[in-house]
Amino acid sequence: MNIIKKIAVYFARKEFCRNAISEKADLSVFEKKLTAKVITGLVLIFVSYLIGLPTAVIIGGIAGAKFNASIAAFIITVIYGISWLILMLGAYLAGPKYGKAISRWAVRVVLEKILGAEAKKIAALPVQNPQRSDTKK
């Protein structure tokens, strides 16, 4: 078994992934009419991806050619930080319901792509250690 499949099996045994696979997580939450706040949040998330790495590379390249490397590194860091702040604001506005729906769907799709039919078998297995030792009582 290759390393990617071993990692996928490890995560498929986790509760979040098991539930996503066994409940056949989908994006049906997006079928309902979205509020203006949620749409704004989703647009901000999209914009953060657009200005994140591509803009940092382009602006960094220009700054590196025109100025010295330390100024370019500073500009790249600031732009990338701003894109993360926009991402977090978008995630806050969109709400946890939509973020969780996308996460569950993505986990299910990726694990089923890597493991195939084995993903459903792993999700159906009983939990080996249902009690966690790090929880407070």
pLDDT digit string, tens, across residues 29-65? 888 888 899 889 988 988 888 887 788 778 777 877 8
pLDDT of the residue at 51:
84
Q: What is the Cα–Cα distance from 58 to 136, expressed in whole angstroms?
A: 49
Q: Which residues contact 79 (CB under 8 A, 6 or more apart)?
A: 51, 52, 55, 56, 59, 60
CA separation, residue 94 to residues 37, 61, 103, 132 (Å)? 7, 33, 13, 32
Please give the DSSP secondary-structure letter assigned to residue 117: T
pLDDT of the residue at 136:
54
Q: What is the Cα–Cα distance from 105 to 82, expressed in whole angstroms?
A: 28
Share of the chain above pLDDT 90, in %: 7
Q: What is the Cα–Cα distance from 84 to 21, expressed in whole angstroms?
A: 29
pLDDT of the residue at 129:
56
pLDDT of the residue at 89:
93
Residues in the chain, pLDDT under 70: 1, 127-137
pLDDT of the residue at 42:
84
CA separation, residue 78 to residues 69, 122, 129, 132, 134 (Å)? 14, 43, 44, 40, 38
